[in-house]
C-alpha cells in the first residue's frame, strides 16, 4: 500500500533546502552595457563582451552589486568585506565563453535569516529559515531546438542560439538546511518563497515574476526516519515556477521518497524536474557522477570590496519589511483578512496607502482601487496602478465627500481620467458633471415628477415613505444623475409634508 | 636624411620638419617588407590600404597645422594577438583563420588616436604559447641575424620586423617573456610594463593574470614614446590601474644613474646560462658602474620555483580562456555535416584548430584545475606567486632596479628544441618571475656573444608602477654601450638579400 502524505510525514522527517534564482532588473547586463530589456529580436542586445569574443573583458555592473547588497541586508546577512567572482567551466553552446562567471566560495552576502509565519493546528507559528549565502552570477543565452518531438536537444534537427539573455545579472539565494518543520515543510517552503518575493519586490531590485522566470526556485528535499537524527540523501527539484508549485513539489517529493524508502530502495542524489500538471517530479541528470566545473577565481575581475560606509548608507534605505508593513496597515485601516489578501494580491497596497496619505478615508480609498479601478483595469488587461494616480483618486474622493460629486458622477470622472481626458477637474468641467444643488432647479424637476405620478405622491402624503424612491428615481433621471439623491429626497419629502415623519422614524 | 634604419624619434622629427611625409615613410617600409619578408616572415597580414589611408590622414592634419602626438605618422607592426577592427586577427592559430574582429583593442584605439600607422599583423606562437614562433600555424619567423635561427617567441614576428627594419616600432604582449626574450635574441628593445599599466581589452587572452601588452622598438627612447601612447587606465579592463602613467619618456632621456642601486639577482646568472651571455651581461654591469651606479647582490630564492608555478597558472587560465573557441560563433568549424551534434563538431574543431603546444597546455591546465588536484597544483602555484612577490619586495628594499640576463642563451636553431618542451620552457627562466609578480621588465641589447656573434639581452626589472626606473637605467646603459661600440648593434647584423 502506497503511503499518502500524512502517512509519510508520520514516519519521516523532511529536511528542506531552497535555492532561489532572481533576475535583477538592472538596465544593463552584469558585465557589459548591453540592454537587459525582455523580448528584443534575437542577438540584438549583444556586444563583444557578452558574446565572449576573443579579447573582450568583463567589468562588473555596480548597480548589480548594490542590488545584491540590498538583498543581503534585507535578509539579515553579513556583507563580505572581500568577495570574488569565479569561473564555472563547462561546454555548452549557449554559454559564449564556455564558462559562467559566478561567485563561488567567496560570495558577497553570508549567514542571514528570514522569519516566516505559517498556520499550524495550534495557530500561527513562526519559523526561522537560515540563509547560507547570496551571490551574483550571469545568465546564459537561450537555445531553441528546432525539429524533433520534445523541443529538447535530443532528436532536434538544428538549434538556434539567442545571446540577448547572456550576461543578465542573476542573484542566487541559498538557504541552509531547514529542519524541524515536520509535516509543515510544504507550508514553510511556500511561506519562505512568498516572503522572499515580497521583500525583493519591496526593494525594487527585481520583477520577481515566477511565471516569467525572473524568479526561479529549486527545492532540495531529503527524508530521514523520525527520531533517527540522520540526514537522508537529497534530490534537487528544478522548474518550480509558482508559489503553489513550491508547496506541491515538496509534497510530491515527500510522497515519492517515502515510498521508495518503504520499498527498501535507496534515494539517488539527482536533479529532478517538476511537472506542473501532475505535481510529481521526473528524474533529470544524476549528480552522482557530478560534473567537474574546475572553479577558479576569475582573473579578469578585481575582487569586490564594498566600502563599509556605503553598506551603511544602503542599510539606511531599506524599506519596511513587507510582512510587518502588512500587519501595520491591516491594523491602521481595520481591514478584514479577505480584503487585505485581495489588496496584496492585486499589488494595490502602495497606491491605497498613498491615496489615504493624500487625505482620502481608508474605506473609500480601498473600495475605489479594488472596485471600479480594478474593474476597468481588468477590462483593459492592464495593471490598475498604471491607469490613474493616487493623487487623482484622492481628489475624486474629496469631491464626493464635499458633496460636489455623487458616486455615480465620480465613476464617470474616473472613467474620463482613465480615458485620458485630463485631471478630475478637467473631466468635470468638460463633461459638465457638477452636482445640481440649486434647490429651485431641483424643485422644478420634483414638481414635474409629482405631476407625472400623482398616485405615488398621494401614497407618500399618506405616510408611505418608501414609495418616495420612485419619485426620487424620476428626478435623478431628469437631472441626468447630476443631483444629490439625499438632497432630492429631503426636498421631496418636505414638499409633501412628510420630512419630519421620515427623519423621526 | 631619414631611412628605414632611423629611430622612430628621428623619423618623427623629420615628419615635424617636413622633410618627409607619413605616406612616404609608410611606403618605404612596405618596400622593405616586399624585399625581405619572404625570408623573415615577420608579417601574417599587411593592411596596406588602411595604413596608407591613416598615413595620408595624418599628413593632411599636419599640413593643416593641427597639433599631433609625438608618434603621429610613424609606422608600426602589431602582434596578431590584438583585435583590430576589420583586419584578420588569428593569434597565429588555424582556429581563428579568417576572423575579422568587429572591434578594436584599446591599445589599437590609442595607436589610431595617436596617428600611428599600423602596417599589419605580425607572426607569433599560436595563442602566444612558445618561445620561438615555431608554434605559429602559419610557419615560423626567421631571425634576421641568422635566418636559420629562431627570433624568440611568442612575439618573434614583432621583434624580427624591427631587426629587419620592416618597422621602427612594434607592439608585443608578454605573458612569461614574449616581448623581452624575442628582443634579447634579435638585438632590439622590448618592455613589459607593470601589470595593469596597459589595457588588456582586445588582447586575446592566454593567461589573464599574466598577459601584458607593451612596446617593442630599436631604442629605449622609442619604446618610451610608444609606452606613453598605449598606457593608462581603461574602464573596459577592470584590472587596469587607475593611476597616472609613469613618466617613462622623461626617464629615458635622463641618462644618469649616479647613486642608483642596481640589484644583481644571484639566482639568475649561474647554471644554464651560456658563457657568452654572462660575459656580455657583465659588460653591461661594468658600464652601469662606470656611469655611477652601485651594484648590490640580491637573492630571490623563490625564483627556483617560478617556472614550475608559472606552468601551472598559465595553462590553468589558458584552459579556461581558450574554451570559447568552439566554432559556434566565430573562427573555423570542422565536421559540421548536418548530422553531427554540436558537441561532436566542437571536438573536431578543437582537434583540428589547435596545434600541439596549445593542446598540451589546455590539457595541463584542465588537469591542474580538476577537483582533487586544485589545491595541490593551482593552489600551491598561487602561494609560490605570493612568495615571489615577497622576494621582489625584499630585493627592491635593497635596490632601485634588479638586473639579469634576459634569456639564458642566444638564438637557437629553428627545429632544435621543438620536440623538447621542457628545454623550450627554460628560455623564459629569467623573464617569468616578472610576470608572476606583476612588475615591470625591459630587455635591451648588451652586445654579441663571443661564441656565436649573436645578440644578448640585458634585463632590467622595476617595481610595480615605477616603470620609469627601468627606462632611466636602460636609457643610460644604452647610451654608454653605444658610446663604447660606436654604432648601434643592429649595424652588425648581416645585410638581408634584397630581392
**Which of chain A's residues have a Cβ under 8 Å away from the Cβ of B209?**
299
Q: Does residue A40 sit in the same domain as residue A63?
A: yes
Considering only CB atoms, A54 lies closest to which of B83, B236, B320, namely B83
Q: Does residue A356 sit in the same domain as residue A469?
A: no
Angle (CA) A454 A460 A461, round 5°: 85
Q: Does residue A30 sit in the same domain as residue A149?
A: yes
Q: Report DSSP state, residue A266.
A: P
**CB-defined contacts A:B, below 8 A:** 100
The half-sphere exposure of B277 on its side-chain side, counting CA atoms within 13 A, is: 26
pLDDT at A353 over 90: yes
Confirm whether A308 is domain-assigned: no
Enclosing H/E stretch for A111: strand A109-120
Reported as a pLDDT band with limits 50, 70 and 90, residue A505 is very low
- Write the burial class of residue A212 (CB in 10 Å: 0-12 exposed, 13-18 middle, 19+ buried): exposed
Confirm whether A285 is domain-assigned: yes
Q: Which of A411, A431, A451 is the last residue of a domain?
A: A431
* pLDDT digits 0-9 by tens, B19-32: 999 999 999 999 99
Strand-pairing partners, residue B298, are: B265
* Chain B nearest CA to A55, separation (Å): 4
* pLDDT digits 0-9 by tens, B272-327: 899 999 999 999 999 999 999 999 999 999 999 999 999 999 999 999 999 999 99
Confirm whether A312 is domain-assigned: no
Considering only CB atoms, B239 lies closest to which of A52, A99, A302, namely A302
The residue whose grid cell reads 520583477 is A207
Q: How far apart are CA B93 and CA B325, in angstroms?
A: 11
pLDDT of residue A316: 97
CATH of the domain at A496: 1.10.10
Q: Does residue A352 sit in the same domain as residue A272?
A: no
Confirm whether A70 is domain-assigned: yes
The residue whose grid cell reads 534537487 is A236
- Residue B290: CB atoms within 10 A of its CB come to 11
Reported as a pLDDT band with limits 50, 70 and 90, residue A487 is confident
Sheet strands (E) in A241-293: 270-274, 281-286
Q: Range with the lowest mean pLDDT among A184-188, A465-469, B216-220, B343-347?
A: A465-469
Strand-pairing partners, residue B462, are: B440
Closest to A289 in 3D by CA, of A270, A305, A315, A265: A270
Confirm whether A44 is domain-assigned: yes
**Which of chain B's residues have a Cβ under 8 Å away from the Cβ of A301?**
238-239
Radius of gyration of the CA atoms of chain B, in A: 21
Q: Does residue A103 sit in the same domain as residue A173?
A: yes
Cβ-contact A397, A367 below 8 angstroms = no
The C-alpha cell at B138 is 602559419
Q: How far apart are CA A405 and CA A418, in angstroms?
A: 17
Q: Does residue A364 sit in the same domain as residue A446?
A: no
Q: How far apart are CA A251 and CA A263, in angstroms?
A: 18
- Strand, helix or coil for residue A127: strand
Number of domains in chain A: 3
pLDDT at A504 over 70: no
Q: Does residue A225 sit in the same domain as residue A343?
A: no
What would you measure as the largest C-alpha separation in chain A, in angstroms? 97
Contact assignment for A294 to B320 by CB distance below 8 Å:
yes
Contact assignment for A296 to B323 by CB distance below 8 Å:
no
Confirm whether A315 is domain-assigned: no
Cβ-contact A236, A270 below 8 angstroms = yes
Chain B residues with CB within 8 Å of chain A CB: 82-83, 89, 91, 96, 99, 101-103, 105, 200-205, 207-209, 235-239, 316-317, 319-320, 323-326, 328-330, 341-343, 346, 366, 369-371, 374, 378
Contact assignment for B378 to A296 by CB distance below 8 Å:
yes
Q: Does residue A245 sit in the same domain as residue A298?
A: yes
pLDDT at A441 over 80: no
Residues of chain A with pLDDT > 90, as a percent, come to 61
pLDDT of residue A443: 83
Strand-pairing partners, residue A286, are: A270
Q: Does residue A148 sit in the same domain as residue A182?
A: yes
Q: What is the mean pLDDT of residues A180-200?
A: 95
Regions of chain B short of the pLDDT cut 50: 499
Considering only CB atoms, A91 lies closest to which of B237, B323, B329, namely B323
Which residue of chain A has the CA closest to B369? A294
Q: What is the mean pLDDT of residues A248-265?
A: 95
Q: Range with the lowest mean pLDDT among A141-155, A204-218, B129-143, B181-195?
A: A141-155
- Strand, helix or coil for residue B296: strand
The C-alpha cell at B425 is 620552457
Cβ-contact B153, B135 below 8 angstroms = yes
The C-alpha cell at A344 is 496584496
Q: Does residue A128 sit in the same domain as residue A214?
A: yes
Phi–psi pair at A397, nearest 5 degrees: -65, -40
Cβ-contact B94, B116 below 8 angstroms = no
Which residue of chain A has the CA closest to B318? A299
Q: Does residue A280 sit in the same domain as residue A414?
A: no
Confirm whether A311 is domain-assigned: no
Cβ-contact A406, A485 below 8 angstroms = yes
Q: What is the mean pLDDT of residues A240-250?
A: 93
Contact assignment for A296 to B236 by CB distance below 8 Å:
no
Q: Could you tell me the residue range of the domain that residue A456 belongs to?
A: 439-504
Architecture of domain B8-302+385-492: Alpha-Beta Complex (3.90)
**Mean pLDDT (chain A, rounded):** 90
Q: For chain B, how far is it from start to end, CA to CA, in angstroms?
A: 23
Closest to B174 in 3D by CA, of B314, B295, B299: B314
pLDDT at A137 over 50: yes
Which residue of chain B has the CA closest to A33? B236
Q: Does residue A221 sit in the same domain as residue A282?
A: yes
Q: Which residues contact A203 (CB under 8 A, 6 or more apart)?
A: A67, A70, A71, A74, A318, A319
Q: How far apart are CA B487 and CA B425, in angstroms?
A: 33
Contact assignment for A91 to B204 by CB distance below 8 Å:
no
Q: Report DSSP state, residue B375.
A: I
Q: How far apart are CA B114 and CA A260, in angstroms?
A: 72
Contact assignment for B101 to A54 by CB distance below 8 Å:
yes
Q: How far apart are CA B112 and CA B286, in angstroms?
A: 41
pLDDT of residue A453: 87
Phi–psi pair at A28, nearest 5 degrees: -115, 170
User: Global pTM?
Assistant: 0.87
Considering only CB atoms, A98 lies closest to which of B239, B317, B323, namely B323
Confirm whether A313 is domain-assigned: no
What would you measure as the largest C-alpha separation in chain B, in angstroms? 73
Amino acid at each position: 500500500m502506497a503511503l499518502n502524505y500524512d502517512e509519510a510525514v508520520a514516519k519521516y522527517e523532511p529536511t528542506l533546502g531552497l535555492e532561489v534564482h532572481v533576475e535583477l532588473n538592472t538596465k544593463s547586463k552584469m558585465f557589459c552595457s548591453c540592454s537587459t530589456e525582455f523580448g528584443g529580436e534575437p542577438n540584438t542586445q549583444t556586444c563583444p563582451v557578452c558574446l565572449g569574443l576573443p579579447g573582450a573583458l568583463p567589468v562588473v555592473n555596480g548597480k548589480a552589486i548594490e542590488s545584491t547588497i540590498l538583498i543581503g541586508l534585507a535578509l539579515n546577512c553579513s556583507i563580505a568585506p572581500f568577495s570574488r567572482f569565479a569561473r564555472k567551466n563547462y561546454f555548452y553552446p549557449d554559454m559564449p565563453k564556455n564558462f559562467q562567471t559566478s561567485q563561488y566560495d567567496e560570495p558577497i552576502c553570508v549567514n542571514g535569516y528570514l522569519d516566516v509565519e505559517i498556520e499550524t493546528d495550534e495557530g500561527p507559528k513562526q519559523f526561522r529559515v537560515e540563509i547560507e549565502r547570496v551571490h551574483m552570477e550571469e545568465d546564459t543565452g537561450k537555445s531553441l531546438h528546432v525539429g524533433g518531438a520534445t523541443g529538447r536537444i535530443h532528436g532536434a534537427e538544428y538549434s538556434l542560439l539567442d545571446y540577448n539573455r547572456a550576461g543578465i545579472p542573476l542573484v542566487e539565494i541559498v538557504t541552509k538546511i531547514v529542519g524541524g518543520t515536520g509535516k509543515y515543510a510544504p507550508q514553510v517552503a511556500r511561506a519562505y518563497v512568498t516572503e522572499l518575493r515580497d521583500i525583493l519586490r519591496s526593494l525594487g531590485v527585481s520583477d520577481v515574476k515566477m511565471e516569467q522566470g525572473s524568479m526561479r526556485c529549486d527545492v532540495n528535499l531529503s527524508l530521514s526516519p523520525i527520531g533517527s537524527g540522520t540526514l537522508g540523501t537529497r534530490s534537487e527539484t528544478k522548474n518550480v515556477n509558482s508559489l503553489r508549485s513550491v508547496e506541491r513539489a515538496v509534497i510530491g517529493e515527500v510522497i515519492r521518497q517515502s515510498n521508495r524508502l518503504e520499498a527498501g530502495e535507496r534515494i539517488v542524489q539527482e536533479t529532478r524536474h517538476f511537472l506542473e500538471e501532475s505535481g510529481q517530479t521526473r528524474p533529470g541528470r544524476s549528480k552522482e557522477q557530478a560534473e567537474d566545473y574546475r572553479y577558479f577565481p576569475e582573473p579578469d575581475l578585481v575582487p569586490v570590496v564594498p566600502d563599509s560606509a556605503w553598506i551603511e548608507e544602503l542599510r539606511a534605505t531599506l524599506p519596511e519589511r513587507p510582512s510587518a508593513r502588512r500587519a501595520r496597515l491591516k491594523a491602521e485601516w481595520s481591514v478584514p483578512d479577505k480584503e487585505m489578501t485581495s489588496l496584496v494580491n492585486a499589488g494595490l497596497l502602495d497606491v491605497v496607502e498613498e491615496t489615504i496619505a493624500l487625505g482620502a478615508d481608508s474605506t473609500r480609498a480601498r473600495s475605489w482601487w479594488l472596485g471600479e479601478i480594478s474593474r476597468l483595469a481588468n477590462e483593459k488587461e492592464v495593471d490598475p496602478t498604471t491607469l490613474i494616480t493616487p493623487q487623482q483618486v484622492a481628489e475624486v474622493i474629496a469631491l464626493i465627500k464635499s458633496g460636489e460629486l455623487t458616486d455615480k458622477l465620480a465613476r464617470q470622472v474616473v472613467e474620463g481620467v482613465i480615458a485620458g481626458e485630463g485631471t478630475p477637474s478637467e473631466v468635470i468641467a468638460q463633461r459638465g458633471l457638477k452636482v445640481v444643488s440649486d434647490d429651485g432647479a431641483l424643485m422644478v424637476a420634483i414638481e414635474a415628477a409629482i405631476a407625472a405620478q400623482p398616485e405615488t405622491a398621494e401614497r407618500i402624503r399618506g405616510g408611505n415613505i418608501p414609495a418616495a424612491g420612485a419619485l426620487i428615481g424620476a428626478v435623478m433621471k431628469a437631472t441626468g444623475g447630476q443631483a444629490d439623491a439625499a438632497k432630492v429626497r429631503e426636498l421631496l419629502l418636505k414638499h409633501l409634508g412628510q420630512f419630519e415623519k421620515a427623519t423621526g422614524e | 636624411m631619414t631611412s628605414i634604419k632611423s629611430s622612430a624619434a628621428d623619423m618623427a622629427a623629420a615628419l615635424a620638419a617636413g622633410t618627409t611625409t607619413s605616406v612616404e615613410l609608410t611606403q618605404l617600409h612596405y618596400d622593405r617588407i616586399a624585399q625581405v619578408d619572404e625570408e623573415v616572415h615577420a608579417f601574417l597580414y599587411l593592411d596596406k590600404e588602411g595604413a596608407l589611408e591613416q598615413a595620408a590622414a595624418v599628413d593632411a592634419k599636419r599640413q593643416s597645422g593641427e597639433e599631433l602626438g609625438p608618434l603621429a605618422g610613424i609606422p608600426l607592426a602589431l602582434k596578431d594577438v590584438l583585435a583590430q577592427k576589420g583586419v584578420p586577427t588569428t593569434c597565429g592559430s588555424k582556429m581563428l583563420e579568417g576572423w575579422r574582429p568587429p572591434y578594436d583593442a584599446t591599445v589599437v584605439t590609442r595607436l589610431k588616436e595617436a596617428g600611428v600607422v599600423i602596417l599589419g599583423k605580425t607572426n607569433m606562437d599560436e595563442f602566444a604559447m612558445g618561445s620561438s614562433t615555431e608554434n605559429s600555424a602559419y610557419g615560423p619567423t626567421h631571425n634576421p641575424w641568422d635566418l636559420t635561427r629562431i627570433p624568440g617567441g611568442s612575439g618573434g614576428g614583432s621583434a624580427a620586423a624591427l631587426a629587419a627594419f620592416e618597422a621602427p616600432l612594434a607592439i608585443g604582449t608578454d605573458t612569461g617573456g614574449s616581448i623581452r626574450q624575442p628582443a634579447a635574441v634579435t638585438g632590439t628593445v622590448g618592455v613589459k610594463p607593470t601589470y595593469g599599466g596597459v589595457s588588456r581589452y582586445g588582447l586575446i587572452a592566454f593567461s589573464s593574470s599574466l598577459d601584458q601588452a607593451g612596446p617593442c622598438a630599436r631604442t629605449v627612447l622609442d619604446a618610451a614614446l610608444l609606452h606613453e601612447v598605449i598606457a593608462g587606465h581603461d574602464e573596459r579592463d577592470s584590472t587596469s590601474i587607475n593611476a597616472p602613467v609613469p613618466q617613462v619618456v622623461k626617464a629615458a632621456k635622463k641618462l644618469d644613474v649616479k647613486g642608483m642601486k642596481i640589484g644583481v639577482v644571484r639566482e639568475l646568472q649561474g647554471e644554464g646560462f651560456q658563457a657568452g651571455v654572462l660575459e656580455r651581461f657583465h659588460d653591461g654591469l661594468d658600464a652601469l658602474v662606470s656611469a655611477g651606479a652601485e651594484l648590490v647582490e640580491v637573492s630571490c630564492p623563490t625564483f627556483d620555483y617560478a617556472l614550475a608555478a608559472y606552468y601551472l597558472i598559465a595553462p590553468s587560465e589558458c584552459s579556461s580562456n581558450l574554451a570559447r573557441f568552439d566554432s559556434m560563433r566565430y573562427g573555423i568549424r570542422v565536421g559540421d555535416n548536418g548530422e553531427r551534434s554540436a558537441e561532436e563538431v566542437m571536438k573536431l574543431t578543437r582537434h583540428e584548430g589547435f596545434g600541439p603546444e596549445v593542446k598540451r597546455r589546455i590539457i595541463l591546465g584542465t588537469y591542474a584545475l580538476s577537483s582533487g588536484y586544485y589545491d595541490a597544483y593551482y593552489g600551491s602555484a598561487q602561494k609560490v606567486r605570493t612568495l615571489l612577490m615577497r622576494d621582489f619586495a625584499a630585493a627592491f628594499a635593497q635596490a632601485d632596479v634588479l638586473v639579469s640576463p634576459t634569456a639564458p642563451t642566444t638564438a637557437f636553431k629553428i627545429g632544435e628544441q621543438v620536440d623538447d618542451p621542457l628545454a623550450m620552457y627554460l628560455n623564459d627562466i629569467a623573464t617569468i618571475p616578472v610576470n608572476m609578480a606583476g612588475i615591470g621588465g625591459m630587455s635591451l641589447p648588451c652586445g654579441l656573444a663571443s661564441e656565436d656573434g649573436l645578440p644578448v639581452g640585458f634585463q632590467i626589472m622595476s617595481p610595480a608602477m615605477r616603470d620609469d626606473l627601468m627606462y632611466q637605467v636602460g636609457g643610460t646603459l644604452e647610451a654608454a654601450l653605444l658610446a663604447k661600440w660606436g654604432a648601434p648593434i643592429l649595424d652588425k647584423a648581416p645585410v638581408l638579400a634584397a630581392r
